[in-house]
Structure 1
């Protein structure tokens, strides 16, 4: 089975193309399933559209859902279109987000940490004035947030769990067992992690997570799935076969797909 559970479109303000464009790209790639998972609105904000270049407006979310559901029907029999969302995780607003998601027939929710200490994880400037001890603390804070997201029970998939290396490749080498501790919790919470192929488009030049993290994930019996994190239609299903083969080499035998918040496992 071929699928991609992580795609964006123009509603988020920093991706190209509409939802239909991503579905058509998935058809051309021969995918069986395509997950539509644009960035969630900032539901914890009083403003309707807090960051127009980052995520959709709160008022836009019902229209997003309705469009995906309409296209799901239109493409039935040709490709399975799945309604998802990539959700930020803010512990102080978790219940607000949870109640919003309960209103809609979502197939899956990706939980991703995009900010630590009020700053984007992709902001390379955060590291410039930090000493080694402070850098390690940032990495530990990042994984503590991932641990909290796993424990929340809100998510089916955790997105790009070492993406902080994107514009700071040295992140992976910072000496701490924070990632391993997070994987233990993810396994206990029975949440899936994605192999996100968008890391190759950043300075880190590799997938999220790296092979050593995937090896530890297998050790802890963490389940995996695939997400391209496509922000242009051409990247839908990107490197699917390479990921499949690499996961087999590491020792995985299955990967996960979702329908109506239920997880299923299929052979790689």
Structure 2
């Protein structure tokens, strides 16, 4: 790639390990042109991964100061990974405007709506949490559960404004070949419906390497099948590591680039002083 950049980064303000400056110093050392910080947005219930209520000012202030400090070496960007939960999450555009963000990554980690106790957590390190939620909320009906996930993504695309969609097919992470196959007709139909919406809304798809380097997935989010359709539909992509530690900021970027080229994709989206443009993959 002509330039290194990562737009999906978590620090100790949410569920990352370290202070923002440590990520920037590592990015400078690796020759990055840009690093975007994207803490998990505040949620209206207790959790272990999102920004704590009232911490937004400290987070945004620190990133802005670091942007000035490192302005001659790297472009530092201020963003959020905003969780979309119908009736519970804050509107993305309101977040962007009130906090003065450069962009928002829209993601679904919790499937459901209305009440925190009714949410199926599909992420995190424990496969048991996924399985328990599947049984509790969907009576073990994986097709119903997975359909709810993809339909919630569709609702996010239809009702919110954001630049990047995060780890598009993360619903597969704890499946690990047990409950459904990605080549099943019903699953492919859900994927195609969502990709049509993504193309219509002109949202960038994040190609996320974290599942592989954490040993929780055999493929990228999204995987090869979806990436081939993304190429056919001319949907823009960007590579991210979803870093939670400074050492993770560029993990498996080379592998991701090779997969993109294998699928016919020859460029990625880059944010440069307020404008998204395409840069070629070497």
Match of 2:115 in 1: none
1:76 partnered with 2:82: no
How far is 1:87 from its partner? 0.4
How far is 1:92 from its partner? 2.0
1:246 partnered with 2:259: yes
CA distance in 2, matches of 1:172, 1:22: 37
CA distance in 2, matches of 1:73, 1:21: 15
CA distance in 1, matches of 2:90, 2:82: 13
What is the SS of the residue equivalent to 2:13? helix
CA distance in 2, matches of 1:239, 1:31: 15
Contact 2:70 2:76 survives alignment (8 Å) = yes
Contact 2:209 2:251 survives alignment (8 Å) = yes
Q: Deviations over 1:140-183 (max 9, x none)?
A: 11111111212234210000011111121234535421011100
Match of 1:149 in 2: 156
1:167 partnered with 2:162: no
What is the SS of the residue equivalent to 2:269? strand
Contact 2:195 2:230 survives alignment (8 Å) = yes
If the length of structure 2 is used for normalisation, what is the TM-score?
0.85
How big is the alpha-carbon RMSD for the aligned residues of Structure 1 and Structure 2? 2.0
Match of 1:64 in 2: 59
Contact 1:108 1:260 survives alignment (8 Å) = no
Distance verdict in 2 for CA 1:35–1:158, change over 3 Å = same
106-115 vs 150-159, which moves further: 150-159
How far is 1:128 from its partner? 5.5
Alignment of 1:217-232 (within 5 A): 217-232=230-245
1:135 partnered with 2:135: no
Distance verdict in 2 for CA 1:238–1:113, change over 3 Å = same
Higher RCO structure (Cα 8 Å, ≥6 apart): 1
30-39 vs 51-60, which moves further: 51-60
CA distance in 1, matches of 2:264, 2:100: 34
Q: Deviations over 1:218-258 (max 9, x none)?
A: 11221100111111111001112221222122111211122
CA distance in 2, matches of 1:146, 1:83: 23
If the length of structure 1 is used for normalisation, what is the TM-score?
0.89
Long gaps (5+) in structure 2: 113-118, 124-128
**Count, aligned residues:** 260
Alignment of 1:24-35 (within 5 A): 24-35=25-36
Match of 1:41 in 2: 42
What is the SS of the residue equivalent to 1:238? coil
